[in-house]
């Protein structure tokens, strides 16, 4: 049985995986990037602050049997480092990525390839719920619109006309409905993160609001991809 597992974490799936690995008697260490000051800590050992690039991660892989990348779907740099370090050291790598969202009847989605493309897609004068997280908010700084910026921690830069709401999801559907109504939101901008943060999209659909959804960055070629914790455990 694979005993020593290094999980690149920061997601709900990473915490669930660490818990189940620990319950199964495996030696699990979760690495957190350290960008959030008060993260939800997983079971097992926790390492914070990153590895200092591919070289540092490759050195750390000498102490484990398997590497599981369970970072956020938009953590492209970390996933690239994981693929490079695993290839260099011959360490098995599993990338855990929850499925993205799929538009249904009544959804008014525009998919774009980047935050910059999302900023260009915002109509002048819109009232925007910006639910893309703390990083990348600067892409919207000069957009002629009003923004309700929601993030776990305050971004370094806010758009010229904005209000900041600090909150940690997932959010209940009733709360999302109330938020859109309270602030007169006319457009939702989000990343295709998948998972349990879909309530804002459901609330937008119910109110007939358009959504600009940023597509995920592509995965490195040739990696093994699991879409659930059960899939990862089966591969292990």
CATH code for the domain of 120: 3.40.50
Domain membership of residue 58 (yes or no) is yes
Q: Enumerate residues 6+ apart whose C-beta is below 8 A from 161.
A: 145, 146, 147
Distance CA 79, CA 56 (A): 14
Same domain (yes/no): 31, 86? yes
By residue range, what is the domain housing residue 13?
4-98+218-235
Same domain (yes/no): 78, 138? no
pLDDT of residue 33: 79
pLDDT of residue 38: 62
Q: State pTM to two decimals.
A: 0.86
Distance CA 66, CA 86 (A): 9
Q: Enumerate residues 6+ apart whose C-beta is below 8 A from 120.
A: none
Same domain (yes/no): 122, 32? no
Tokens of residue 178, six digits:
């109330």
As for how many domains the chain has, the answer is 2
Same domain (yes/no): 139, 179? yes
Distance CA 174, CA 193 (A): 20
Side-chain half-sphere CA neighbours of 33 within 13 A:
17
Same domain (yes/no): 113, 177? yes
DSSP 3-state percent helix, strand, coil across the chain (nearest 5):
30, 25, 45
Three-class DSSP category at 128: strand
Same domain (yes/no): 67, 88? yes
Describe the crossing of helices 199-206 and 173-182 by its angle, rounded to 10 degrees.
50
Same domain (yes/no): 70, 115? no
Same domain (yes/no): 127, 84? no
Same domain (yes/no): 39, 65? yes
- Of 199, 119, 190, 206, the closest CA to residue 159 belongs to 119
pLDDT along the chain (236 residues), means of 10: 86 93 92 71 84 92 94 93 96 95 95 97 98 92 97 92 92 96 98 88 97 96 93 92
Domain membership of residue 103 (yes or no) is no
pLDDT of residue 1: 57
- Of 113, 112, 156, the closest CA to residue 136 belongs to 156
Same domain (yes/no): 119, 210? yes
């Amino acid at each position: 049985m694979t005993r020593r597992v290094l999980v690149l974490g920061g997601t709900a799936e990473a915490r669930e995986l660490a818990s189940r690995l620990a319950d199964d008697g495996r030696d699990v260490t979760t690495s957190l990037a350290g960008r959030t000051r008060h993260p939800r800590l997983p079971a097992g050992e926790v390492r914070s602050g990153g590895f200092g690039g591919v070289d540092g991660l490759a050195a750390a892989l000498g102490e484990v049997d398997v590497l599981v990348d369970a970072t956020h779907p938009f953590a492209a740099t970390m996933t690239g480092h994981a693929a490079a370090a695993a290839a260099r050291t011959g360490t098995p790598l599993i990338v855990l990525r929850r499925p993205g969202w799929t538009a249904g009847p009544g959804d008014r989605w525009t998919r774009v390839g980047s935050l910059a493309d999302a900023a260009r897609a915002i109509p002048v004068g819109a009232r925007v719920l910006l639910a893309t997280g703390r990083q990348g908010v600067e892409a919207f700084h000069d957009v002629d619109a009003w923004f309700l910026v929601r993030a776990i921690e305050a971004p370094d830069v806010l758009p010229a006309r904005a209000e900041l709401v600090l909150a940690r999801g997932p959010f209940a559907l009733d709360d999302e409905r109330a938020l859109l109504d309270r602030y007169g939101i006319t457009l939702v901008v989000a990343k295709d993160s998948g998972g349990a943060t879909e309530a804002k999209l459901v609330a937008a659909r119910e109110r007939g609001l358009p959504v600009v959804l940023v597509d995920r960055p592509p995965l490195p070629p040739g990696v093994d991809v699991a879409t659930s914790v059960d899939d990862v455990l089966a591969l292990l």
